[in-house]
Amino acid sequence: MISKSIKVAVLSSMVLFASCKDDSKKDDKLMTDNILLQEWTGPYEGVPAFDKMNVTAIKEAVEKGMELNLAEVDVIANSTEAPTFENTIVAMESAGKDLNRVFTYYGIMGSNTSSPEFRDVQAELAPKLSDFRSKISQNKKLFQRIKAVYDASQKTPLEPQAQRVVDLTYKGFEMNGANLDAEKKKRYAAINKELSTLYTKFSNNVLHDEENYVTYLSKDQLGGLSEGFIKSAAKIASDKGQEGKYAITNSRSSMDPFLTYSTERGLRKQVWGNYYSRGDNGDAYDNNDIVAAVLKLRKERVGLMGYDNYAQWRLQDRMAKNPENAMNLMLAVWPAAIARVKEEVTDMQTVANELNDNITIEPWDYRYYAEKVRKKKYDLDSDEVKQYLQLDKLTEAMFFTAGELFNFKFTPVEEGSVPVFNEDVKVWEVNDKDSGKHIGLWYLDPFAREGKRSGAWATTYRSAASFEGEMNVLASNNSNFVKPAPGEAVLVSWDDATTFFHEFGHALHFFSANVKYPTLNGGVRDYTEFQSQLLERWLSTDQVINQFLVHYETGEPIPAALVEKIKKASTFNQGFGTTEYLASALIDMKLHLADPTDIDIDKFERETLAEMNMPKELPMRHRTPHFGHVFSGEGYATAYYGYMWADVLTSDASEAFRDAPDGFYDKEVADKLVKYLFAPRNAMDPAEAYRLFRGRDAKIEALMRDRGFPVPQN
């Protein structure tokens, strides 16, 4: 599922470029007794002191941590020795340890235990952290040393992992303009500054339109809406001073259920219009000119470094490698997606006609009639499914899967022996099933609470890297299940169970890592969701179903017919889902491949969609004037395709298991899975790793089958 791909929040974005491990070189006046900067002590090779976290200490700890790190970088950069792999690259890999420890706490305080006080600290530290990163990435002497090591390695290559870390480090600096001459560097910095202002403006405009286009309903306009939805709409209205009314806010979480269930067609049109016009209202908050300006600046910036366009620059270190490969994938799926939309519209029109609704399906009708078709065709009772999905049993099912595929064994650690930041957090020790070798600790923070962000995610507190001796891994999974009364089972939906497996896939990817250097632990955007998506597939294997998906009262396994229904329903509405996603991903790429000189964004979007034969019954998932992934920063610019890229690998790899003698528990395929797809992380080129696993590149046929699309015949 595309939405699953957004859930990981690995702290690797915070991982630092450099620092130095030799403690004797630290400036004495920088030493501190701040508890959050201390080495981790206690069992299991030392564990975070989560019981000692506090907002007062964290600010100082981050600031001191940055100082320490910069001092370490200076030592490396100002060395009088000739640059070598050891004294430059290894020295950088070795360091950042103090700050990385602090970032573990900082991450927990931001995501798991946030508070208004902490958010003040965050706001204060954000610009300082940004300055800090620039100080390292723009350190000229440091880059000269890195370049010297890189140049030497082009003549005399290093062993593969050393070479890869040199390549990635050099590339990272180079892609951020380190190779430019002084004049170009100046322009580069000016462009970045201008862009950052535009990104903020873009986000603020979208936010303005989200806050200022609320639709208020009266009591006689609630047809079709659920009790829970009405209650929350009433609360939002009264919070906004409209007592007695019901507010539909201009956000996806309000718009989506309203369009799915409301019987008021006129209001559906209004809510739909508000949502898809965000940033496009021709007023002071209109984003069209901002988008055009961003595209021009991005093109100019990568032009300084000799690239033809932004996409070419962005994709060079991604699995897709270049925009052509990404476009080819999207265009291969596109015809089937829009053809499926036609069928879905036909099905919906039939239902509308049967109901004598006397309408033609318009975009604001899609979700409403799709829901009616879903009921008619699949008749899946989600409450019935839930009775077979207990959180504890699902946890056992994941451990079983990890045992079969990775040979891992999970044992609960004695309560109180490892500090946790909340009493709900449970910890398990991970060992090799046969040798008993200690691998690490798995922390699970399962329940929703105030101050914890929504969704589900995985992180590491300590990642694998063997260059200074073997280290264990401390990994965590975080969810937002509703905490039950004592002794009661937590029953979850099929979607949530899938997500639970997904996040565990990220944890297994951390635990199985076999890399020498920390940089090689990093994720590749169009690859890093693949491993976790793949692990979702074990939820519906017979072994898991029969042992763990059992009724919470009777202990009976979930009936095969019910599983069949769930699987069948998974291809439902894929025309809509795939088309709205791909339309956005294609426009993202095409905008960045186009000449931005005189670009008219509104016209470009309209004409490009027409050329693509975009069905008129649905819009892009994110229209350009509010496409925050792409224009409120650079995170997903020319990268929105990545969700589908990872999905192709997921479908293709899962067929390798399906077709093996022992299916999803085939030892031979499992060994290859661990060896090539999990253990190397970024120590190996992902495309090469995949070929070693599969004996060939991934093909899109499996994805087409998974989505219920016809498979192209060659």
CB of residue 9 to Zn ion, shortest distance in Å = 9
Phi-psi region of 224 (alpha: psi -120 to 50; beta: other; left: phi over 0): left
**Residues facing 426 on adjacent strands:** 444
Q: In this structure, what DSSP letter does residue 89 have?
A: I
Min dist CB 503 to Zn ion, Å, is: 7
Residue with the shortest CB distance to Zn ion:
8
Q: Which residues pair with 198 in a beta bridge?
A: none
Which two three-digit tokens encode residue 97? 């340890």
Q: Which is nearer to Zn ion, 481 or 552 (CB)?
A: 481
When the beta carbons of 363 and 455 are compared against Zn ion, the nearer one is 455
Of 460 and 532, the one with the shorter C-beta distance to Zn ion is: 532
Q: How far is the CB of 502 from Zn ion (least distance, A)?
A: 6
Q: Which two tokens stand for residue 72?
A: 């370490």
Cβ at position 506, least distance to Zn ion in Å: 6
Of the candidates 176, 166, 321, which has an alpha carbon nearest to the alpha carbon of residue 686? 321
Determine the 3-state secondary structure of 308 from DSSP: coil
Choice between 430 and 535, CB closer to Zn ion: 535
Measured CA distances, 706 to 219, 331, 537, 655, 669 (Å): 43, 17, 12, 10, 20
Nearest-approach distance from CB 275 to Zn ion, in angstroms: 26
Quick check: 373 and 344 in contact, CB under 8 A? yes
8 A C-beta contact, residue 291 and residue 631: yes
Minimum CB distance to Zn ion smaller for 268 or for 318 = 318
User: What is the CA 119 to chain-centroid distance, rounded?
Assistant: 22
Burial string for 500-513 (b: 16+ CB within 10 Å, else e) reads: bbbbbbbbbbbbbb
Judged by CB, which is closer to Zn ion: 529, or 647? 529
Return residues touching Zn ion (CB under 5 A).
7-8, 529, 532
Q: Say what angle helices 574-593 and 323-354 make with each other, to 10 degrees.
A: 140
Report, in Å, the least distance between residue 493 CB and Zn ion. Answer: 18
CB nearer Zn ion, residue 453 or residue 483: 453
Whichever of 286 and 529 has its CB closer to Zn ion, that residue is 529
Q: Given the complex with Zn ion, which of 32 and 463 has the nearer CB atom?
A: 463
DSSP secondary-structure letter at 625? G
> Between residues 85 and 530, which has the closer beta carbon with respect to Zn ion?
530
Q: What does 434-500 look like in DSSP terms, one character per residue?
A: TT--EEEEEEEEEE--TT--SS-EEEEEE----BTB---EEEEEEEEEPPPPTTPPPB--HHHHHHH
Q: Which of 663, 709, 622, 712 is nearest to 202 (CA)?
A: 622
Nearest distance from residue 497's CB to Zn ion, in Å?
15
Considering the complex, what minimum distance in angstroms separates the CB of residue 380 from Zn ion? 25
CB within 8 Å of 290: residues ≥ 6 apart:
198, 201, 202, 205, 631
CB of 533 to Zn ion, least distance (A): 7
Nearest approach in angstroms of CB 7 to Zn ion is 4
Burial of 572 per CB tally in 10 Å (0-12, 13-18, 19+): middle
